[in-house]
Amino acid sequence: MPTVVSLRFSTVVARFVFAALLGAFTSFAGPIAATAQSAAPIAQGAEAALALTGFRSAQFGMDEDAVRAAIKADFGIEGDAVQVGLNTVERTRVMTIAVPEVLPDGGTAQVSYIFGYQSKALIQVGVLWAPATDPAITDAILYANGDVLRAYFDGAGYLPETVSKDVVLENGILLFRGSDASGHTAILLLQGRFEESEGLRTLFPASLTLLYAVNPDNPDILTIKGGDF
């Protein structure tokens, strides 16, 4: 049975938003990128406005049965290979699968489909690459996967005013964040630990997370309002 890594994607988003409000970001340029292979070029030309509607056949707003059918259509995975769990803090249900080669030569990823607390519909999809999802994944693979996806997102048609790239965080680098006209958002985050030597900071990555979210700043999760207790 594949290892399931616990993910709280809305928490990742919240951390990003909180840091943005504090102005804690700094532009990134440094030796970290030098260890990754160059990404494949993106075709040039006028880009149509992007509409981010989900991940492959799984579309935002689908119920669990529809997402199960999408998983089978996309990856041939069904039955007990689709693990279902509950985020007890956020009260969201999560379907999790292990998928080899989501990216060519990128290793086995964990793909998680998150259903809203109130809507019971698909609100987020997360893809995680890490040694915990595939022991063969190395730092170089994490960097290469990040480079390929960042290059893809650069040319995908996200609204320019919503795009942030190569932003240094306390525990990693926000490689990309961008939204479409509906506010649906893609976030690509490389996390790990920084080490400094001779004035240079180098990130030793532990995971790469891709998140597609309907409303990352106000997700459909359980919230406790002031005055409730």
Residue 158 φ/ψ, nearest 5 degrees: -65, 150
Rounded Cα–Cα distance for residues 69 and 95 (Å): 12
Q: Is residue 153 part of a domain?
A: no
Q: Is residue 149 part of a domain?
A: no
- pTM of the predicted structure, to 2 decimals: 0.80
Q: Is residue 17 part of a domain?
A: no
Q: Is residue 156 part of a domain?
A: no
What pLDDT band is residue 11 in, cutting at 50, 70 and 90? very low
Give the residue carrying structure tokens 């990404």.
Answer: 39
Which pLDDT belongs to residue 48?
A: 67
Q: Is residue 78 part of a domain?
A: yes
Domain end, chosen from 90, 121, 152, is at: 121
Which pLDDT belongs to residue 32?
A: 35
Domain end, chosen from 103, 121, 139, is at: 121
What pLDDT band is residue 19 in, cutting at 50, 70 and 90? very low
Which pLDDT belongs to residue 47?
A: 55
Q: Is residue 79 part of a domain?
A: yes
Domain ranges, residue 115? 61-121
Number of domains in the chain: 2
Pick from 203, 138, 146: which is nearest to 176 by CA? 146
Q: Is residue 158 part of a domain?
A: no
Same domain, 65 and 116: yes
Written in H, E and C, the secondary structure of the chain is CCCCCCCCHHHHHHHHHHHHHHCCCEECCCHHHHHCCCCCCCCCCCCCCCCCCEECCEECCCCHHHHHHHHHHHHCCCHHHCEEEEECCCCEEEEEEEECCCCCCCCCEEEEEEECCCCCCEEEEEEEECCCCCCCCCHHHHHHHHHHHHHHHHCCCCCHHHCEEEEEECCEEEEEEEECCCCCEEEEEEEEEEEEECCEEEEEEEEEEEEEECCCCCCCCCCCCCCCC
Q: Is residue 173 part of a domain?
A: yes
Same domain, 28 and 66: no
* Residue that wins the pLDDT comparison between 2 and 57: 57
What pLDDT band is residue 162 in, cutting at 50, 70 and 90? very high
